[in-house]
Amino acid sequence: MTHTTLEIAGMTCGGCVASVTRVLTGLPGVTSAQVSLEKSQAVVEHDPTTAPVPALRSAIEDAGFTVR
């Protein structure tokens, strides 16, 4: 397992945090996601083979947010 920190733009409320958390933890290979509204970031614990960083990025962007 690897920890990756992603900078996310566009989260404005707790509902956004819940959405990002749900899409990340719904991906195969993602063990956990700690999403922070204040820091505009997500720390994701994942298997980089099953859930590579571009897959994390795509899932977040498909949910309507921007990964910097």
Task: Give every CB contact of residue 66 below 8 A, 6+ residues apart in sequence.
Answer: 8, 9, 10
* CB of 8 or CB of 56, closer to ligand 9UX: 8
Name the one range near ligand 9UX by CB under 6 A: 9-17, 27-35, 36-44, 55-63: 9-17
- Using Cβ positions, the residue closest to ligand 9UX within the complex turns out to be 15
What residues contact 51, with CB distance under 8 A and at least 6 apart? 27, 28, 29, 30
Q: Which two tokens stand for residue 6?
A: 């992603």
Closest approach of Cβ 10 to ligand 9UX, in Å? Answer: 8
Q: Is 12 in the site for ligand 9UX (CB under 6 A)?
A: yes
